[in-house]
Structure 1
Amino acid sequence: MELRHGHVGVRPLRRRDAAEWARLRKANAGWLGPWEATLPREAGRPATSYAGMIGTLRRRARRGQAMPFVLTWDDQIVGMLTVNGITWGSARWASLGYWIAESHAGRGITPTAVALVTDHLLGTVGLHRVEISIRPENQASLRVVAKLGFIEVGLAPRYLHIAGDWRDHRVFQVLTEDVPDGLVARLDQPS
């Protein structure tokens, strides 16, 4: 499955993306470092290779728990968006996490990708709620949820282990009934 709006595309992460993904991550290590999820000491060692990471993500995807995507600009990989914690039953929700290369930040790629994936989750997949959790000091990500009209539902103290410590996050959500025409339609409306 591939989602597209203008120059922005979202498609599944593939094994053959390894070299491009590694190049992009290396080139953006300083840019992404302050926001990078880490494992606390007691959680063990993280996957240290692309193959290990994609293997873990693909296993979770086969179990219906995750959807790993790359973000593209004119078919060039410029970031990643992962749907995590997919929950079915009476909850029917998931959370999104994403990153974009510094060279492509500020072009509207991330909001467009988030809108495309959220519309897919709320429409095609049939979830009811999509959540994004953001560190309070991450102004770029806060602009993404503001632009799309996600609603803040609270502060989660020490929510996620990032850059070596437990960090607070602001939690935002969008519900199916909040966006009957979808989020991509919001992007196309005049300001």
Structure 2
Amino acid sequence: MTDVSTANPRRAEILAAAAELFARRGFHGTSIGDLGRALGLTGPALYRHFRGKEAVLAEMLVDISERLRAEGVRRAAAPDPSAALDALLDWHISFALDNPALITVHERELDNVPEPQRHQVRRVQRGYVEEWVGVLRRLRPDEPEPRIRAAVHACFGLLNSTPYSAAGLDRPAMAELLHTMGRAALVC
């Protein structure tokens, strides 16, 4: 996996601007020209970096899925499953609080990603879910796996609600609330 921000800072800048525009206006409500203007470029200048708007969206969602999974693998490897769960929660909460536009774009726009990349995003996401499931199976070995998997998906819904729910609290208070609620949802 290549981190887009270190491999090509200009591409990372384009992806960040696109995330904000796509979250605010929607994929179909944002043109290449809009994206170019947000970066101080002409729309056609963006074609030096991406084939088009779909390629921007695809790279954005593949990249975030791969980053979540890679860090999830690292954190799930903690020998103590309780510590691993806390580490996973802290990671996902930080990601969600720091990247509300990406959360919104993923939720709304995944169907606009071309099929090969959409399949890749979903495959990587399933792997990320399985990291959480593996930790919870170590923590609660008698719990049926379908129930664990359902709890993980429900917890993601809670954690990914930050674009809509985080406005009323400061970041530390929101992170603590989400951690408490997420842990309770997963070990109930």
**TM-score calculated relative to the size of structure 1:** 0.34
Specify which structure has the higher proportion of helix.
2
Flag the structure with higher strand content: 1
Q: Which has the higher contact order (CA 8 A, sep 6+)?
A: 2
User: What's the TM-score once normalised by structure 2's chain length?
Assistant: 0.35
Task: Say which one has the larger Rg.
Answer: 2
